[in-house]
């Protein structure tokens, strides 16, 4: 699917389900159409006449986990969103929130602190156990303090922190099919959070109990359209259609996720028919996909690609040093050189369609002479960089090209940059354990809310906040933004956050990417969701 070369802010807001008052919340029946669209008795097998029974999709790296509480990466989310479901869901092509396992949108108290959620009845987990209020309570409570552990990267992001005075305080099973969630403070994005593919999906109590205490579930059990079969590390993950699925039956029997790290190998696998869909297409290969008769999915993503400074230790704790390094980098030249037409220069942490984006946010301007003087005055002659080699949705080239270009820019101002590179799986650990002055990272938005982007720099989990940026004024703005209803006042708060990021320079903003995937013309109804996942329930392939 090819996008237009440029979209207006309003067009993008409409695409993602955003109204002038913020992200849309719409009421509709449950997953797959809810009660009215539940699987008919005696329905055909998932793979109908004339349809192939297997779709193969390439991942650039192994999933980190198949337990929603234990991952923060796109590979895990793409796989897991087809096995698990949440109380709420996004639209097929947008981020409008609607009921899923919940029967309706929640009833919210006037003070915004109590969410009463009615659940759909008669739903079973993959192992035949009942989905009910106790299951929801158990799935959420394991990620609340003091139960959560440091290996749950999204727990604080979705459910909040007691120390910060926000998030979920208690979860109560009022009756078998009613859940009451009480918050410490009002939270404008909370319902959107409950539709995320990370942390929010409901996991069967039986799977939680079977897992070793404090460890991720390795035999996943959800309510989704596909069931777990096998995970061969470094090779593939296999799912099979859930024949007892409570919603509309999936159209394809088997899903195979192949792990193929190298871009040219992914391309060859598509052309040779070994994969039906390949992710994170190198921009340089885009024309080759089309020329060989395959489809190119190309739409502006909900992403940010950035370079982060370690603001806690090392040589970039000084804001003036960070500014000078930023001055040494010609971001516009770099983006054009590496990504061509498949990315735009980032002037904002958030994508251009999201409020409160403003083109007059002043990012640090390219000024190598000023950079050279400041860095010399500060005695900075060398810096240490770590980066990743694996393609990401926000950076299909991987971090090597960025690191090499920035090495050149810094050399021109008298600074030697040492670069250490890792594959993505290793990098996710190294960025939390190893010393560095700068590193490369990025983000694909989970729900289209400004908090989902700006809160990264307030998080105390270093797997999320790789800049280790901890600023009381910034955190106060984030807290205010969370409790402020969608609208102009909330937009103004996040605009202040944008301006503070530009001023204090924990990041150098690089680009907003297009989502680039290649797929066989035999694949029907494929869509790469703006939140960086693929819902395969309605996707089929001609034999």
For residue 326, give every residue at least 6 positions away whose Cβ sits within 8 Å of its Cβ, in sequence order, or none.
363, 364, 371, 505, 508
Please give the Cα distance from 269 to 277 (Å, whole number).
9
Average pLDDT over residues 257-266: 97
Match 């539709």 to its residue by tokens. Answer: 195
Q: pLDDT of 97-147, one tens digit each?
A: 999 999 999 999 999 999 999 999 999 999 999 999 999 999 999 999 999
Q: Which domains does the chain have, with CATH numbers?
A: 9-240+520-541 (3.90.76.10), 303-513 (3.10.105.10)
Please give the Cα distance from 492 to 515 (Å, whole number).
29
Read off the DSSP letter of residue 51.
Answer: B
Among candidates 513, 260, 299, 264, which has minimal Cα distance to 393?
Answer: 513
**∠ CA 157-162-167 to the nearest 5 degrees?**
45
Q: Please tell me whether the peptide bond between 57 and the residue prior to it is cis, using omega within 30 degrees of 0.
A: no
Q: Tell me, what's the pLDDT at 46?
A: 44
Residue 4 pLDDT > 50: no
Q: How far is CA 521 from CA 193, 297, 438, 516, 543, in A?
A: 34, 11, 42, 15, 11
* Least confident interval from 9-23, 172-186, 478-492: 9-23
Q: pLDDT of 31-80, one tens digit each?
A: 643 333 333 333 334 444 478 899 999 999 999 999 999 999 999 999 99
3-state secondary structure 104-164: CCCEECCCCCEEEEEECCCCECCCCCECCHHHHHHHHHCCCCCCCCCCCCCHHHHHCCCCC
Q: Tell me, what's the pLDDT at 134?
A: 98
Q: pLDDT of 276-331, one tens digit each?
A: 999 999 999 999 999 999 999 999 999 999 999 999 999 999 999 999 999 999 99
Q: H helices of 312-467, where?
A: 319-327, 331-339, 368-377, 400-411, 424-433, 450-454
For residue 308, give every residue at least 6 positions away whose Cβ sits within 8 Å of its Cβ, in sequence order, or none.
438, 439, 440, 441, 466, 467, 506, 507
* Residue 94: pLDDT band with limits 50, 70, 90: confident
């Amino acid at each position: 699917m090819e996008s237009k070369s440029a979209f207006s802010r309003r067009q993008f807001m409409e695409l993602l389900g955003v109204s002038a008052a913020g992200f849309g919340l719409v009421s509709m029946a449950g997953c797959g159409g809810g009660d009215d669209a539940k699987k008919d008795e005696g329905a055909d097998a998932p793979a109908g006449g004339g349809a192939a029974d297997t779709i193969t999709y390439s991942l650039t790296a192994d999933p980190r986990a198949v337990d929603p509480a234990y991952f923060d990466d796109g590979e895990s989310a793409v796989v897991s969103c087809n096995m698990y479901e949440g109380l709420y869901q996004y639209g097929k092509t947008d981020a409008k929130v609607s009921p899923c396992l919940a029967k309706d949108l929640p009833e919210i108290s006037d003070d915004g602190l109590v969410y009463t959620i009615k659940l759909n009845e008669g739903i079973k987990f993959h192992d035949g156990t009942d989905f009910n209020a106790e299951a929801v309570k158990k799935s959420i409570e394991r990620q609340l303090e003091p139960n959560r552990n440091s290996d749950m990267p999204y727990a604080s992001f979705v459910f909040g922190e007691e120390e910060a005075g926000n998030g979920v305080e208690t979860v109560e099973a009022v009756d078998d099919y009613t859940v009451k969630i009480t918050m410490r403070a009002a939270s404008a994005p909370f319902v959107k959070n409950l539709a995320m593919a990370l942390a929010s999906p409901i996991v069967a109590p039986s799977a939680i109990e079977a897992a070793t205490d404090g460890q991720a579930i390795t035999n996943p059990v959800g309510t989704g359209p596909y069931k777990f079969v096998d995970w061969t590390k470094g090779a593939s993950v296999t799912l099979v259609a859930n024949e007892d699925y409570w919603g509309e039956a999936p159209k394809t029997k088997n899903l195979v996720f192949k792990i193929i790290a190298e871009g040219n190998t992914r391309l060859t696998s598509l052309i040779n028919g070994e994969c039906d869909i390949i992710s994170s297409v190198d921009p340089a290969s885009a024309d080759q996909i089309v020329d060989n008769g395959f489809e190119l999915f190309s739409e502006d993503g909900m992403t940010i690609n950035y370079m982060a400074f370690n603001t806690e230790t090392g040589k970039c704790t000084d804001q003036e040093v960070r500014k000078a390094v930023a001055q040494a980098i010609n971001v516009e030249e770099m983006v054009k050189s590496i990504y061509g037409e498949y990315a735009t220069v980032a002037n904002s942490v958030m994508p251009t369609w999201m409020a409160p984006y403003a083109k007059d946010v002043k990012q640090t301007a390219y000024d190598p002479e000023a950079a050279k003087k400041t860095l010399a005055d500060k005695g900075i002659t060398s810096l240490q960089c770590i980066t990743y080699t694996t393609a990401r949705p926000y950076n299909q080239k991987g971090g090597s090209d960025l690191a090499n270009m920035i090495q050149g820019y810094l050399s021109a101002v008298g600074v030697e940059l040492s670069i250490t590179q890792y594959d993505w799986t290793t990098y996710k650990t190294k960025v939390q354990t190893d010393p560095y002055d700068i590193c490369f990272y990025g983000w694909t938005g989970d729900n289209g809310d400004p908090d989902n982007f700006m809160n990264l720099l307030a998080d105390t989990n270093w797997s999320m906040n790789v800049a280790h940026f901890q600023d009381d004024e910034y955190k106060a703005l984030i807290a205010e933004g969370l409790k402020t209803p969608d609208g102009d006042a909330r937009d103004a708060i996040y605009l202040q956050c944008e301006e503070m990021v530009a001023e204090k320079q924990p990041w150098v903003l690089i680009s907003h990417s297009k989502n680039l995937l290649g797929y066989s013309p035999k694949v029907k109804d494929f869509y790469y969701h703006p939140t960086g996942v693929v819902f395969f329930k309605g996707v089929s392939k001609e034999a």
